Structures are given as structure tokens and as C-alpha cells.
Amino acid sequence: MLTTRLWKSTAALQTECLTVRVPIKKFVREGPSGATKPRVRSFNVCGMWHAPSVARFLFLLLLSIIFVSQSPSAFGQQSEPARQAALKTLNTDLSEAARLEAFVLLEQAGALDSKQISRSLCDTAPALRAAALRVGEGFVKEDTELELRLIALNHDRSALVQLQLLKSLPNFSHPTAGTALRKVIQTLLKSSDPAHRSAAEAAAKTLQPVAP
């Protein structure tokens, strides 16, 4: 909220800051009569002379950067409550978009584990299953059972999942990964979508020949 206040317009900022008019011991002549009066300069409690607007903008920008850099992130000081809230959304929310958003948030925060990924592989949303497959690649070295679950997605009829399998299966070391990849390629080659067939043809060119 403090950062938001700092970004208010210059006019709004001036109305919120207490302005004190300070007389200076210099006099200027004004008017035809040649009368003199003290020159007055404005000073406010924000700690700035009324400098040109560009200088004030740079000063406020610097302050906002400082406050933003010191503000806790979504998973900072309140990391555990935020993580639990995202996990609850991911596992219970009826909205596919909300579950996918929670998954991405947890991924960016590094708060996903192989157990949660395995659970997301069974989600009804194809986009979420494909995302779990993509993220799961980073856990297969530590969890061989997860690798088998990921390979088993070759039975998934969703084109989103199958297209992700084209990218993920070549990265798996399990012997069944090659067979699963060939099955996915054959399925996509029969697709009515030219883009799917093109992706399958490109993946087929990278296959190693099957030993007799």
C-alpha cells in the first residue's frame, strides 16, 4: 500500500504532504512602487524542495524500488499459509483455470513435490495433466515410480498430453519410454489436425531404429 501511495500523481502527493512556507532573508522588488517583500520557498515534510517534476519522479521511483525489494513475496514471510492455500485450490477447486493457476504458482515458488505431481496426473483437466508431465521430468531421477506414471500417460487420449509426451518421453531413461513414444507418434499421425501430424512426423525422425 505504501508503494501504491508513492506512485500517486505529483498533484495528489503535494496535497497529502504538509507544506511549510519558509521565509528566506533575501528580498526582491515587485511592482511599480518598488516595494520589497521576503522571498518565500515551499518545503514539505516529504523531505523534498519543490524541484522540477522529473527530479521528483526519479526520487519517488527510487523509493518505490527500495520498498518493493524489501516487501515479502507471495511465498516469503507467509510462505506456509500461501502454499497451503494454493494446494487447497489445486486439489479441491471446481474451476480448471483456478487449479491450473495454483499449479503454476506452486511451480514458480518451487513448492511442488513428486507426490503432488502424481496427484495432478489424475486431474480431469488435460492442461493440468500436461503441466504435471512437464514438471515431473525434473523428479524422475529421484522417484522411479513417478517416471513409470509419467510414461503411462501414453494411454491418455488428450492431444495436449500427447504433444507434451513427444517432448518428455525422449528424456526418460526407462526401457519402456521408447515404446510409449512410438505409440504416441502413431496415434498423432492419425490425427485430423495437421499440426499434430507435423509434430508426430518430426518426432518420428528422431527415433532410433528398432533392433531386429
pLDDT for 88-144, tens place per residue? 999 998 999 999 999 999 999 999 999 999 999 999 999 999 999 999 999 998 898
Determine, yes or no, domain membership for 89.
Answer: no
Determine, yes or no, domain membership for 31.
Answer: yes
Number of compact structural domains in the chain: 2
Higher per-residue pLDDT: 160 or 63? 160
How would DSSP label each residue in 28-39?
EEETTTTEEEEE
Q: What is the pLDDT of residue 209?
A: 61
Determine, yes or no, domain membership for 162.
Answer: yes
Determine, yes or no, domain membership for 106.
Answer: no
Contacts of 193 by beta carbon, 8 Å cutoff, 6+ apart:
159
Which DSSP helix (H) or strand (E) runs through 6? Answer: helix 2-6
Phi, psi of 7 (to 5 degrees): -90, 5
Q: What is the pLDDT of residue 23?
A: 45
Q: What is the pLDDT of residue 22?
A: 40
Q: What is the pLDDT of residue 149?
A: 96
Picking from 25, 47, 70, the residue at the C-terminal end of a domain is: 70
Determine, yes or no, domain membership for 180.
Answer: yes
Distance of CA 96 to the CA centre of its chain: 18
Helix ranges (H only) for 71-158 are 79-92, 96-108, 114-120, 126-136, 144-151
Determine, yes or no, domain membership for 29.
Answer: yes
Q: What is the pLDDT of residue 113?
A: 93
Compute and round to an integer the Cα radius of gyration of the chain: 31
Query: Among the listed ranges 25-29, 75-79, 174-178, which one has the minimum average pLDDT value?
Result: 25-29
* pLDDT single digits (tens) 117-132: 999 999 999 999 999 9
Picking from 23, 46, 70, the residue at the C-terminal end of a domain is: 70
For range 68-92, the mean pLDDT: 70
Determine, yes or no, domain membership for 21.
Answer: yes
Taking the complete model, does pTM exceed 0.75, yes or no? no
Q: What is the pLDDT of residue 41?
A: 47
Buried b (16+ CB within 10 A) or exposed e, 134-169: ebbbebbeebeebbebbbebbebeebbbbbbbbebb
Picking from 37, 70, 103, the residue at the C-terminal end of a domain is: 70
In angstroms, the CA 80 to CA 7 distance is: 30
For range 73-85, the mean pLDDT: 68
Determine, yes or no, domain membership for 22.
Answer: yes
Domain that holds residue 34: 2-70
